[in-house]
Amino acid sequence: MILGIETSCDETAAAVVYGGKILSSVVRSQVDLFREFGGIVPEISSRRHLELIQVMVEQALSRAGVDLKEIKGVAATKKPGLIGSLLVGYSYAKALAYGLDVPLVGVDHLHAHVYSAEIGRKFEFPLLGIVVSGGHSAAYMVEGLKFKTVARTRDDAAGEALDKVAKKLGLGYPGGPVIERMAREGNPHAYDFSVVRLKDGSLDFSYSGLKSQAIRIIEREMPQGKRLRDFLASFQRAVVDQIIDRMESLVKIYRPSSVAITGGVSINQHLRDRARAFARKAGVKLYLPEKKYCGDNAAMVGYLGEKLLEAGFREDLFSTPFPRTEASKGVKQFR
């Protein structure tokens, strides 16, 4: 039995995993705390994690019907994320591993998102793993536990662009769900947002140009009613266009057997439909996570953590988490 812990951003989560099966997965979101701010306040988030972590671990154990003594390894998100938030979960995991005298493994949050799409299935490698979330947009070529970063976030992440546009419109936080809801009755071609490609030919993700274009339109015409729905449908379509565009190019270059699209934004139905249509056309297998595993959760951390522990990965109890990875914006190499 492996205990998974996730506290990298604004969800406090714990899960029990055994043999690739999720015995329990509990997530407490902090979004209600941040709605009025239009985004996460890191200090408030870490304090909330501190209040919740013990309760969430107890809940995960009791829902799985597992005693703490049965836990044979602890897996916790080590990077990337908000440093204060990461520290709460990772320090808790270190202390617990020490107390139980079981191994600890640190998990890359983005790698865990990729593996969220394998829960209940078996990946076919080589796999193109795409993560689109609030903090990151990244793509990896994955072979078992080996990850090679093939595209990363140049500026804003996909979900961040949705969140910032929603904030500008006074629609609250997070932006993705409300934009998806309102976009349903809009015309996705009413506004002419074009696909952003980088001048240097790189396949990195870039959303700040698209976000600024959207914000300029909001400032100019403050769309209302039907026009607002058209605007949001068009903006959502443009955010998805870029993901599909990168997926198409990366599939051409790396010729994977399969593709996984994961992370908070992968719950979006427009993205899921477009990805399915592309995969069918390109003849690649597509994995989309179950909707409960799209957003941040500890099941994916425990799931990948179990594989890492089986492969012999161990974390020193003096190790510390860190906020960035090589897939983070503007960072070429980090440790």
- What are the residues whose beta carbons fall under 8 Å from the beta carbon of 32, sequence distance 6 or more? none
- Residue 3 is classified by DSSP as E
Pick 140 or 231: Cβ nearer Zn ion: 140
Work out whether 133 is an interface residue with Zn ion (CB under 5 A): yes
* Nearest distance, CB of residue 317 and ligand KG4, angstroms: 26
Pick 167 or 314: Cβ nearer ligand KG4: 167
* Widest CA span in the chain: 61
Work out whether 266 is an interface residue with Zn ion (CB under 5 A): no
- What are the residues whose beta carbons fall under 8 Å from the beta carbon of 237, sequence distance 6 or more? 183, 188, 189, 193, 270
Stretch that binds Zn ion, among 42-50, 232-240, 295-303, 305-313 (CB under 5 A): 295-303
Pick 2 or 161: Cβ nearer ligand KG4: 161
Strand partners, 153: 205
Stretch that binds Zn ion, among 49-57, 152-160, 188-196, 292-300 (CB under 5 A): 292-300
* Nearest distance, CB of residue 79 and Zn ion, angstroms: 12
Burial of 331 (0-12, 13-18, 19+ CB in 10 A): middle
Residue 172 Rama label (left phi>0; alpha psi -120 to 50; beta): left
Which pair of structure tokens corresponds to residue 190? 């009413």
Write the DSSP string, 216-252: HHHHHH---HHHHHHHHHHHHHHHHHHHHHHHHHHHH
Work out whether 328 is an interface residue with Zn ion (CB under 5 A): no
* Nearest distance, CB of residue 45 and Zn ion, angstroms: 13
Work out whether 296 is an interface residue with Zn ion (CB under 5 A): yes
Give the footprint of ligand KG4 on this chain (CB under 6 A). Answer: 9, 133-135, 159-160, 162-163, 174-177, 180, 263-265, 267-268, 295-296
* Nearest distance, CB of residue 134 and Zn ion, angstroms: 7
Residue keyed to tokens 């996705």? 188
* Nearest distance, CB of residue 70 and ligand KG4, angstroms: 29
Q: Which residues of the chain form contacts with Zn ion (CB under 5 A)?
A: 133, 296
